[in-house]
Chain A
Amino acid sequence: DQQVKQNSPSLSVQEGRISILNCDYTNSMFDYFLWYKKYPAEGPTFLISISSIKDKNEDGRFTVFLNKSAKHLSLHIVPSQPGDSAVYFCAAIGSSNTGKLIFGQGTTLQVKP
């Protein structure tokens, strides 16, 4: 039962363009969402988060959008840089679970110079 889904295993964009990574979830009880970035042979690092009471959160080149009615969130990276090439994981945390992040399968982003 995959409660958080990232349906695109990979994405390739040109440097300077926008990268859009998508994530869908099924559990309407989730009220906090996070994006993590992971390089090979390293652990995931926190990127940006959003509470369910918001529909947008921005931090520099990274913006996360949340559409609660569609149970969909997306991460926008503008402009994309080669150093952004990594695996991006969407994660959700429910109000009754402490520390139990539920991760999607990940999307591998490749930014071409």
Chain B
Amino acid sequence: NAGVMQNPRHLVRRRGQEARLRCSPMKGHSHVYWYRQLPEEGLKFMVYLQKENIIDESGMPKERFSAEFPKEGPSILRIQQVVRGDSAAYFCASSPWDVYGANVLTFGAGSRLTVL
């Protein structure tokens, strides 16, 4: 019973490079969420996706960040031209349906991005 799988667990990039973070939701889950945790802060919502649809991207920075959840394969969070301020832990979560009430998100272990 695999949980939410994220890879890579650790990623080091130089300024200006691209970072790609992958997330495979739990089996049977069709809703994926990405959160970011900056040092000494709580998790901040970035984007909510269903298969082939972006439902809510209100937490995504306007530039350089994009996310997708294709019909086949994992969800991908892509950061272009990374800057030092992008260094953070990026957490993916999944749920079997819209989250409200008793249902809760299941989080992956996170991908830690370090930008040199």
Residues of A within 8 A of B (CB): 4, 6, 32, 34, 36, 41-46, 49, 51, 89, 93, 95, 97-106
Contacts and interface: CB of A to CB of B under 8 A. Distances in A.
A99 B109 contact: no
Contact of A32 (B98, B101, B106): B101
Contacts of A4: 42
A98 B56 contact: yes
Nearest to B101: A32
A43 B100 contact: no
A34 B104 contact: yes
Given A99-B99, A101-B99, A103-B42, 9 more contacts: A32-B100, A43-B4, A43-B110, A44-B43, A44-B107, A45-B107, A46-B106, A93-B100, A100-B56
B69 interface: no
B1 interface: no
Contacts of A99: 31, 33, 45, 48, 55-56, 93, 95, 98-99, 105
Given A98-B48, A100-B48, A93 B4 contact: no
B16 interface: no
B42 A104 contact: yes
Contact of A41 (B59, B106, B109): B109
B2 interface: no
Nearest to B112: A41
Given A43-B107, A98-B98, A100-B48, A105 B41 contact: yes
Given A43-B4, A43-B110, A100-B48, A105 B42 contact: yes
Nearest to B94: A99
B44 interface: yes
A100 B45 contact: yes
